[in-house]
Amino acid sequence: MSEAVSTDLDAVVVGAGFSGLYMLHRLRDTLGMSALVIETADDVGGTWYWNRYPGARCDSESYFYSFSDRLSEDLLEEWTWTERFAGQPEILRYLQTVAERFDLRRDIRFGTTVTAASWDEDAGRWQVDTDAGDRLTARFLITAVGCLSTTNLPEFPGRDSFRGPTFHTGLWPHEGVDFTGQRVAVIGTGATGVQLIPEVAEQAAHVTVFQRTPNYDIAGGNHPVTPEFDRRIKDEYRAIWARTRDTAFGFPYDVAERTALSVPEDERREIFEEAWAQGGFRLGTTFNDLLLDADANETAAEFLRSKIRERVDDPEVAEMLAPKDHPFFTKRPPLENGYYETYNRENVTLVDARRTPIEEITPTGVRTADGEYEVDAIVYATGFDAMTGTLFRLNITGRDGLGLADKWAGGPRTYLGIASRGFPNLFMLTGPQSPSVLSNMVVSIEQHVDWVADCLRHLREQGVEQIEPVAEAEDGWVAHHDEVTDATLLPRANSWWVGANIPGKHRSLYPYVGGVGVYRGICDDVAAKGYEGFALSGAGATAAV
Ligand code: NA7
């Protein structure tokens, strides 16, 4: 924690990950505004600062999980990714490079956490308090807190009685952990567990994995980037970015224009095999109805189950790993590199924590209905209170003392997933009801930051002091969001996308599934119409729609 400051600014930004860094650059260097970023960590990186567990890797390909030419053409040319899917240390180095290159750190207050943010109606400003005793005021409050930054540590009875070390993957020690010779319990088999388990199994004496829900893990197909590939990508970057901005998920490839059941079974299998061989999320783009039609979805689900059965030696273990209780892609499918083969090792045991749930953590291990598993260390790969967890921890209070958490007790209510009525001059980058985690995050981050920057420029040019969604626009967006959601299979699974992993959390789809290209079109249209759906007020305001 550093010395307390009291400052009046154009904008306070919360968070110094991808979105906070790019937002600061646009505010300060493009718009010439005064801005300060508040960041809990002692350096930049956000998600990539905290998630240092063994095997931590991005599931989007590195060449498009990076800032586009909108930030810097030179950086695109100079930076070379070493792997198809970059590991955490490399992404962190990339973000540190961005911070250095644009001299961003001087306007970031590290080691400081926002404790409250309140709208001061009389002053027309946000008042932001921090745990360092700062009292900042700013016209605009911009949250750049990421979607997966508040960890979920389940309240198992006896959890704190365990005598050995415990770790959460999202708060991994910087110095690393040596599991050599240890018996390790890993709880959780989401995208994180699937990356971590093979790495820990290489080192530990024994790993016991507690799996509550098996996932449809897809082959990652990670490999080093060749100089030829790197050159080709750099030569094609303009076209690549153009495509990412237009497709459904922000990846530079389209969803095929055919339904799964419109092709004969053997041909369908070939299509799945080909996508499987390419690795990554391409499997989800093979047919255009996998997320819409249960029968179509089942063809992909069964293909993935067959892959598990091919790779896992023990048929009983293979059946435990094969998901049957939810459609494919209704929970985020992890990408795996050798995950299933890990269960062929002598030193790995899989426990079905659905059939025999974890009853308690004891001083010496994990107890299920079947008995106690004695271990030396416990790794919680149990995920996050996604999308709203961190926003609520900011204790945001808007007009008339309205708390954001109170307003959203029955689920998020936003306009475009970026603003909420009752909270003037607040922008939430990759907020709930925007594409965010249902897309290539960096493409969605850039789109949000650019949209906010353009909006702030417009407000300045028009002499507008306050911007806030009107009720009809917000109601309309929530209704549209729900309609798009209900047309898909996504509500059918107990995923963190619907908040099902957090006891008591309102159940609704948190990210927007209408598509990155469609969403961008809607946002651009709103801007082109003078920020339709927002009330603009203050000296010189010209529109209130
Ligand atoms: P996830 O995907 O939320 O996975 C958490 C895992 O922990 C998942 O297998 C959960 O089972 C399991 N879990 C959570 N609570 C419990 C309890 N109480 N008992 C047993 N098992 C439990 O988090 P990740 O960190 O893996 O990934 C988050 C995102 O990061 C990922 O989707 C990517 O977008 C990047 P469940 O499935 O809920 O039955």
331, 359, 380 — which closes off a domain? Answer: 380
* 246: CB partners within 8 A, 6+ apart: 516, 517, 520
Distance CA 445, CA 22 (A): 8
**Amino acid at the residue 225:** V
pLDDT greater than 50 at residue 81 = yes
**Amino acid at the residue 401:** G
Distance CA 330, CA 116 (A): 35
- The predicted pLDDT at position 253 comes to 87
Instruction: Indicate the helix (H) or strand (E) that contains 482.
Output: helix 471-486
pLDDT greater than 60 at residue 540 = no
Using CA of residue 119, residue 121, residue 125, residue 127, what is the dihedral sign?
negative
| Domain co-membership, 46 together with 126 | yes
Distance CA 161, CA 156 (A): 10
| Domain co-membership, 108 together with 171 | no
pLDDT greater than 80 at residue 300 = yes
**Number of structural domains, the chain?**
2
| Domain co-membership, 437 together with 528 | yes
Site to probe by mutation for ligand 1, drawn from 153, 189, 192 as the one with most ligand atoms within 8 Å of Cβ, is 192
C-alpha 210 to ligand 1 mean position (Å):
11
Asked whether residue 543 is domain-assigned, the answer is no
- Residue-wise pLDDT tens digits, 187-227: 999 999 999 999 999 999 999 999 999 999 999 999 999 99
For the chain, give the percent of residues with pLDDT over 70: 98
- Residue-wise pLDDT tens digits, 325-384: 999 999 999 999 999 999 999 999 999 999 999 999 999 999 999 999 999 999 999 999
| Domain co-membership, 178 together with 316 | yes
**3-state helix/strand/coil string of 240-273:** HHHHHCCCCCCCCCCCCCCCHHHCCHHHHHHHHH
| Residue 245 belongs to domain spanning | 159-380
Site to probe by mutation for ligand 1, drawn from 325, 501, 507, 510 as the one with most ligand atoms within 8 Å of Cβ, is 501
Is the distance from CB of 5 to CB of 30 less than 8 angstroms?
no
Work out which ligand 1 atom sits closest to the CA atom of 192.
26
- Residue-wise pLDDT tens digits, 494-509: 999 999 999 999 999 9
C-alpha 321 to ligand 1 mean position (Å):
15
Asked whether residue 545 is domain-assigned, the answer is no
363, 380, 397 — which closes off a domain? Answer: 380
Distance CA 125, CA 128 (A): 9
Q: CATH code at 467? A: 3.50.50.60
| Domain co-membership, 356 together with 409 | no
Ligand 1 neighbours (beta carbon < 6 A): 148, 154, 169, 187-193, 210, 212-213, 332, 353, 358, 381-384, 437, 496, 501
Q: Whose CA is closest to atom 6 on ligand 1?
A: 188
**Amino acid at the residue 17:** G
Is the distance from CB of 36 to CB of 8 less than 8 angstroms?
no
Work out which ligand 1 atom sits closest to the CA atom of 501.
38
Rounded to the nearest integer, the mean pLDDT of the chain is: 96
- Residue-wise pLDDT tens digits, 255-277: 999 999 999 999 999 999 999 99
- Residue-wise pLDDT tens digits, 107-136: 999 999 999 999 999 999 999 999 999 999
**Amino acid at the residue 487:** A
Q: Whose CA is closest to atom 14 on ligand 1?
A: 382
Is the distance from CB of 254 to CB of 281 less than 8 angstroms?
no
Which CA distances in Å does 131 have to 5, 38, 149, 332, 394?
Answer: 11, 11, 18, 35, 11
Q: Residue 180, SS3?
A: strand
pLDDT greater than 60 at residue 2 = no
pLDDT greater than 50 at residue 154 = yes
Asked whether residue 442 is domain-assigned, the answer is yes
Confidence of residue 254 (pLDDT cuts 50, 70, 90): confident
Work out which ligand 1 atom sits closest to the CA atom of 494.
38
Q: Which of 475, 208, 239 is nearest to 365 (CA)?
A: 208
- The predicted pLDDT at position 5 comes to 63
- The predicted pLDDT at position 541 comes to 58
| Domain co-membership, 167 together with 144 | no
**Of the candidate ranges 5-9, 171-175, 372-376, the one whose mean pLDDT is the lowest:** 5-9
**3-state helix/strand/coil string of 136-150:** EEEEEEEECCCCCCC
Distance CA 102, CA 110 (A): 17
Is the distance from CB of 516 to CB of 247 less than 8 angstroms?
yes
Mean pLDDT over 158-178 rounds to 98
Phi-psi region at 422: left, alpha or beta (left = phi > 0; alpha = psi -120 to 50): left
C-alpha 217 to ligand 1 mean position (Å):
13
Asked whether residue 319 is domain-assigned, the answer is yes
Which CA distances in Å does 84 have to 18, 54, 77?
Answer: 19, 18, 17
Asked whether residue 83 is domain-assigned, the answer is yes
DSSP class of residue 419 equals B
C-alpha 354 to ligand 1 mean position (Å):
13
| Domain co-membership, 58 together with 183 | no
**Amino acid at the residue 500:** A
C-alpha 413 to ligand 1 mean position (Å):
25
The tokens of 244 are what?
Answer: 């990412």
The tokens of 175 are what?
Answer: 């110095």
- The predicted pLDDT at position 545 comes to 43
Residue with token string 């750190």: 105
Distance CA 71, CA 99 (A): 12
Backbone torsions φ then ψ of 466, nearest 5 degrees:
-135, 145
| Domain co-membership, 314 together with 412 | no
| Domain co-membership, 85 together with 217 | no
Asked whether residue 1 is domain-assigned, the answer is no
Q: Which of 308, 303, 305, 304 is nearest to 340 (CA)?
A: 308
- The predicted pLDDT at position 538 comes to 84
Q: Whose CA is closest to atom 25 on ligand 1?
A: 383
| Domain co-membership, 135 together with 175 | no
| Domain co-membership, 278 together with 193 | yes
- Residue-wise pLDDT tens digits, 20-34: 999 999 999 999 999
Q: Residue 174, Cβ neighbours under 10 Å: how many?
A: 8
Confidence of residue 6 (pLDDT cuts 50, 70, 90): low
Q: Whose CA is closest to atom 35 on ligand 1?
A: 191
Residues 351, 356, 358: CA angle, nearest 5 degrees: 85
Give residue 105's Cα distance to chain centre.
23
Asked whether residue 18 is domain-assigned, the answer is yes
358, 380, 402 — which closes off a domain? Answer: 380
Mean pLDDT over 242-249 rounds to 94
Q: Residue 196, SS3?
A: helix
Work out which ligand 1 atom sits closest to the CA atom of 193.
26
Asked whether residue 459 is domain-assigned, the answer is yes
C-alpha 213 to ligand 1 mean position (Å):
9
Is the distance from CB of 433 to CB of 478 less than 8 angstroms?
yes
| Domain co-membership, 256 together with 272 | yes
Site to probe by mutation for ligand 1, drawn from 85, 212, 218, 497 as the one with most ligand atoms within 8 Å of Cβ, is 212
- Residue-wise pLDDT tens digits, 399-457: 999 999 999 999 999 999 999 999 999 999 999 999 999 999 999 999 999 999 999 99
Distance CA 299, CA 289 (A): 11
